[in-house]
Amino acid sequence: MRILLIGYGKMGQTIERLALAKGHEIVAALTVNDADRLSSYTADQVDVAIEFTSPDAAVGNMITCFEKKIPVVCGTTGWLQHLPLIKEKCQEHQGSLFYTSNFSVGVNLFFHFNEYVAAKMQQYPEYAVQVKEIHHVHKLDQPSGTALSIADGILKHYPQKHGWINDISQEPELLSVVSEREGEVVGTHIVQYTSENDTFELHHIAHSREGFASGAVLAAEWLPGRQGIFGMTDLLQL
């Protein structure tokens, strides 16, 4: 499979190594300095693009891929306020997009169990729920896209809560999503339920970027030949 890498930071380099080890070809690895080259590639040259850049660049990169009929796997977070536009452009160009806040198989199972637990726990108002995420100091967006996905899964089952706040909430109708930036932490996410009597947690710790990168390669293998917008729940059949 011929892969175009859009973004060549630590994640892009890890994806390249894993993709090459699986026998795939890297057509090019575009950095921020040569991003304008993206429009020069076509579906005749590229089977799928994998996009890990920045929130500001991701939207334009995805739209260019749609225009060029190149299926695109997007791992950039922080751009979901533009999702209606992306859906419109994907449909307009009959494009293919796979996006998720986190490509880790373990994290996506975490999402699944998070919703299951939230559906049960909302019946017990004596337990206060909170989300916490810890990442490396270089991460630009906060809360993390993964934390927002976790929060959405909780809010789906807590109709009495009207949203989230990126802080300790003093208002019961707002879900606390606490962000910390620490050293080179790859990614830790915690959902905590606390009552006067006890506390229990759902806890996921990423040990390396390889789990994210291998998931992105898996998505890139799965996407070509499909039309529309997909995510890990489709890939994992959750």
Please give the single-letter amino acid code of residue 205.
Answer: I
Exposed e or buried b per residue across 195-223, where buried means at least 16 C-beta atoms within 10 angstroms of its C-beta? eeeeeeebebebeebebbbbbbbbbbbbb
Say how far apart CA 140 and CA 157 lie, in whole Å: 29
Annotation says 204 is catalytic: no
φ, ψ for residue 36 (rounded to 5)? -65, -10
Q: Where are the alpha helices (DSSP H) in 22-102?
A: 55-67, 83-92
Annotation says 139 is catalytic: yes
SS3 94: coil
Q: Is the peptide bond before 71 cis (omega within 30 degrees of 0)?
A: no
- E strands, the chain, are 2-6, 25-30, 48-51, 72-74, 96-99, 128-135, 163-165, 174-181, 187-194, 199-206, 228-230
Question: Which of 68, 135, 161, 204 is an active site residue?
Answer: 135
Say how far apart CA 119 and CA 233 lie, in whole Å: 18
Known catalytic residues?
135, 139
